[in-house]
Amino acid sequence: MLPVDPTKKLSFTRSISDGDLVIVYEKYDTMKAVKVCAGSVLENRFGLFKHSDWIGKQFGSKVFSSKGGFVYLLAPTPELWTLVLSHRTQILYIADISFVIMFLELVPGCLVLESGTGSGSLTTSLARAVAPKGHVYTFDFHEQRAVSARFVYGFAFQNMKTFSLEYELREFGLNWFLFDSVSPFVYKLKTIRSAAHETSEEDFEKTGLSNVITVGVRDIQGEGFPDEFSGRADSVFLDLPQPWLAIPSAAKMLKQDGVLCSFSPCIEQVQRASETMRSSFTDIRTFEILLRTYEVREWKLDDFQGDEAGSVGSHPRKRRQRSSEGSNAQETTGSPTVMARPCSETRGHTGYLTFARLKCLS
């Protein structure tokens, strides 16, 4: 995480301390968020890991269990946080998040309004983009979700200056961060206890809220954004079932030349929202972001040459040219070569991102 305190220097070489949160990387599709606590242990398929052995090591270190298995201890960045957070709602992933931050033109010092806090995946990245002097005001009509988000952000961003998301979930009876792998980069929540709903807001405040994020409970579709933000917001993000109801209020909140983004899963929502935007906005554009990942592995060239020799429509002349290149070709034929190909399973449609810029006063 980027430091909130502007006097602190950015450093990813900080050593892990007791009480820090680390992302335990087991393999490419299995990660967990674990709070370091001296005397505690982590047990998984790779063995038993003592937290006391982690203290003093740098983020990114490779640590071994008693039976020889290993994991990596990673710093909790917003990108990794998106992969391990509790899914209270459907979330935005990195491909959409990076596109949103770029087109909203967010830089440190910006003031951002967000409606539809949900699980807080986007909010985390928004906060990093505007830190240390900017601020994100996020609203959710669902009080329990807002309280949960406020609780997590209170821990997460309180210690961004030291790159730790320090919080004590288990004191409140929460097991939010026990995940199962169901497919690459898709995680299933195994256990969620309801104790958070029984915990008073005063208890959450004791954890120390961040000076980067403010979480509020408000029906933006019905009430609009608070008047106190009128003409102050650099950007507004909407993740609502009926965004067209909140667009007039968003227009009042934006500074001149400010940018609005609306995320909608259905094209019918996009059409109606775009119609509403035309009265106050210009440069209306809609995008769908589809991420295509590649699998990288080693192959032997002779395997491909064997396939080519038996294929229909092959070119014998080219094969003869390769075979006549001499001993150098013979030496490299059997050596493995790193090759990449698209993954057969990729994430499909998530939603449409509609951007618009507030019209300047004539």
Q: How far apart are CA 340 and CA 270, in angstroms?
A: 36
Instruction: Name the token pair of 69.
Output: 């298995």
Phi, psi of 330 (to 5 degrees): -65, -35
**Cα angle, residue 233 at apex, residues 228 and 238 outer, rounded to 5°:** 100
Q: Are the beta carbons of 91 and 82 closer than 8 angstroms?
A: yes
| 17 burial type by CB count under 10 A (0-12 exposed, 13-18 middle, 19+ buried) | middle
Radius of gyration of the chain (CA): 25
Does 29 appear as a known binding residue?
no
Helices in the chain by DSSP H: which ranges? 51-54, 78-84, 94-103, 121-130, 143-156, 195-198, 201-206, 220-223, 247-253, 267-277, 301-309, 316-323, 327-333
Does 219 appear as a known binding residue?
yes
Does 121 appear as a known binding residue?
yes
Annotation: binding site for S-adenosyl-L-methionine: 119-122, 140, 219, 239
Annotation: binding site: 119-122, 140, 219, 239
